[in-house]
Amino acid sequence: METNENSIQSVHLSTADSRNSSRRSFLNKKHDPIKLSPSFWKEGQSKLTTVGYFAVVSLLLYLCLYVTGLATPVVSIILSLGVFLQFLAFSSFGLFFGTVGWLVLFYPLAIGIVVAALYNWLNTFTQADTIEIHENGISVGWGRRSMFSVNWNDIGSVFLFCPHHTMLPRKWLVGFGTQGSRPVTIKLPVFGNKGMVLLETLKNKVPWMAIDPALIELWEPAIADSHTELWLKSLSNAPKGSELMPLFPGEKLRDGKYTIINRLGVGGQGTAYLAAMKQANSQTEEVSQGYLTLEERFLHLEQGGDVTGSGPAVTAEDDINNIPTDGVSESEQAKEHGAENELTSNFETHETGNDRAHSIADPEEPPPVKIVTDTNSVVIKETIFPVYVDPRIRTEAEDRFKLEVELLNRLRHPQIVSLNEAFIEGPRGYLVLEYIEGDSLRKVVRKDGALPESEVLDLAIQMADILQYLHTLKPAVIHRDFTPDNLMLGNECRVKLIDFNVAREVESTRTATVVGKHAYLPPEQFRGDACTQSDIYAFGATLFFLLVGEDPEPISQSFPAEANSAVSPGMNQIVAKCTDTELTTRYPFAEDIGADLRALLELKS
């Protein structure tokens, strides 16, 4: 059968199947391509080396013979052989054999080389280098001879095989997994640019076949002049870091300093966890801290319950969804999940741990978090740096994280969440923040509706003071995300600001340009030129939300009185001036807003 690249598309009727099949089974055993590769070939070993090994072996053999005195008879034999070969000098291979003859005569080293080389080349030859597709299957052969055919029915898969001894893509093989016998392999360059044609045909003829995605990617036409694409593709095989798993309750960070209690939710800065910080002289044991140890968790799993996190690397957020927390409000959580949760000021004892293990049996209920608030509770926020890629990119992500930390460290205000510590563990960055009790303003409004103006006024003055503090720092700090979601209403109606987006510039990436809550973004921040006045805009929008109970319209000046007639003209005016889309007419300083608000307060009382 004549085969060349052009004939891949031709449909060639095969001869009688029965004859082929018997021939095939016979040939399969004899010409098993993969099996022919000797297993003693170590990785990367070149053929010349193998040849060398053979040569050395034969030399040693000769030396042995020589030493034992058997040399003479053996040499005589070889001599005659050599002479005979010399006689062959008259044939077409004459000159070559002439040399060979003399080498054989006197150079065992040469014997080794020649034998090994032949063995080697023979092996190469048995690698099929032609393929023909015909109606009942494929035929594989080398040179002009066909080795064997495989029926469509017997093909189970097609895959890419990279032999260990070479790093060159042109020496790769395409393998067809056959049922019942060893895979059939063909040299990759044989397919040329007809690879996709083969795949299409295969998909038609063999619908059940599994196709190696590496082959599809290999054979899809290369994008002209785009080296980047090839490099990016090759990333998929780059050695990976360890499997990324979400943090489980009971896990420890920072050499045991922090122990995760529960996951609280996912926010703009990453996943937030409640954790317990071990004090230097803490006597509390792991088990007594009211959360599941790993053993308990696994035990519980066996009992068929539902636990935070399931499966490798894909986070299960089912249970977390039942805990509508927003960063840090555990008390909220406690209220929602029944009486069994209590706020205590000490750590629970060992029994608590057990109780918890048992009571999780109901999968609908989220793990009842025995909320143990204590001065040792902290919130840990986790960001995951990009892995699998250029280390420099990851370093940049880490640097950006460190910058954020630096900025956060400078802030010292009773009404701004304080950063206790920050560290990097592996591909994850952690921020350890003060744990704040209470609900976010958004939650408060969602639950109770719009707030009365007097309350808003009080909160507004607090917020204006916070902003003033931030903006008058040297250099000024722009929060960039001053929204109801990031303002916590704590005890005694004190507002606390959390969740800083400080270092987050407008990051333009493929999948996300997460800029922020768009209803609270002024045009200039949207354009990437955030300034302190941008926070003022967000502040105004927040006031609107508190007064009206709904988010304001994005990038437009908001008048709360229009939506809620109960709003006084004075307040209306202040909000409007804050949310002016023009920087020149907007409030320039938070100080001024504070003054106006206080004046309004005076008026009221």
Near another protein in 371-430, by CB under 8 A: 383-386, 388-393, 396-397, 400-401, 429
Rounded to 10 deg, the angle between the 590-604 and 569-578 helix axes is 170
Q: Does 209 sit near another protein (CB under 8 A)?
A: yes
Binding mask 246-285 for another protein (x = CB under 8 A): x----------------xxxxxxxxx--------------
Contact call for residue 582 and another protein (CB under 8 A):
no
Annotate each residue in 118-157 with x if it binds another protein (CB under 8 A) or - if it does not, as one string: ---------------------------------------x
Question: Collapsing DSSP states into helix, strand and coil, what is residue 348?
Answer: coil
Cα gap 179→28, rounded to integer Å: 12
The half-sphere exposure of 584 on its side-chain side, counting CA atoms within 13 A, is: 0
Tell me which residue has tokens 């990119």: 393
Nearest to 581 by CA among 545, 538, 546, 542: 538
Three-state SS letters, 487-503:
EEECHHHCEEECCCCCC
- Binding to another protein in span 280-339, by CB under 8 A: 310-318, 320-321, 323-327
Is residue 503 part of the contact set for another protein (CB under 8 A)? Answer: no
Is 46 near another protein (CB under 8 A)? yes
Sign for the CA dihedral angle at 411, 412, 414, 419 comes to positive
Specify the residue, 348 or 499, whose C-beta has the smaller distance to another protein.
499
Helix axes 47-68, 71-87, angle to 10 degrees: 130
Q: How far apart are the C-alpha atoms of 219 and 188, rounded to whole Å?
A: 10
User: x/- string (CB under 8 A) for another protein, residues 65-84?
Assistant: ------------------x-
Binding part of the chain for another protein, among 61-69, 472-480, 502-510, 589-597 by CB under 8 A, reads 502-510
Stretch that binds another protein, among 19-27, 46-54, 126-134, 253-261 (CB under 8 A): 46-54
Which residues face 421 on adjacent strands? 432
Q: Identify which of residues 284 and 308 has a Cβ nearer to another protein in the complex.
A: 308
Indicate which single residue of 30, 145, 227, 474 sits in contact with another protein (rule: CB under 8 A): 227
Single-letter code of the amino acid located at 451: L
d(C-alpha 603, C-alpha 569), whole Å? 12
Strands 377-384 and 428-434: antiparallel
Comparison of 215 and 561: residue with beta carbon closer to another protein? 215
- 105 touches another protein (CB under 8 A): yes
Helix (H) or strand (E) holding 378: strand 377-384
Q: Which of residues 229-248 bind another protein (CB under 8 A)?
A: 229-240, 243-246
The alpha-carbon radius of gyration of the chain (Å, integer) is: 38
Question: Between residues 137 and 484, which has the closer beta carbon with respect to another protein?
Answer: 484
> Applying CB under 8 A, which of residues 1, 5, 32, 52 lies at the interface with another protein?
52
Nearest CA-CA partner of 521 in 475, 496, 552: 552
Q: Which of 45, 136, 418, 568 binds another protein (CB under 8 A)?
A: 45
Q: Give the Cα separation of 135 and 46 in Å (integer).
A: 39
Cis link prior to 312 (omega < 30° from 0)? no
Query: Does residue 177 touch another protein according to CB under 8 A?
Result: no
Q: Please, which residue, 484 or 560, has the CB nearer to another protein?
A: 484
Region of 254-262, 286-294, 463-471, 503-511 interacting with another protein (CB under 8 A): 503-511
Smallest gap, in angstroms, from Cβ of residue 362 to another protein? 19
**Is residue 475 reached through a cis peptide bond, with omega within 30 degrees of 0 on the bond before it?**
yes
Residue number, 26 or 388, with CB nearest to another protein = 388
# binding residues, another protein (CB under 8 A): 130
528 lies in the binding site for another protein (CB under 8 A): yes
Structure tokens at 96: 């070559």
Q: Could you tell me the smallest distance in angstroms from the CB atom of residue 144 to another protein?
A: 25
Residue 472 Cβ, how far from another protein at the closest point, in Å? 28
Rounded distance, CA 241 to CA 217, Å? 24
Residue 570 contacts another protein per CB under 8 A: no
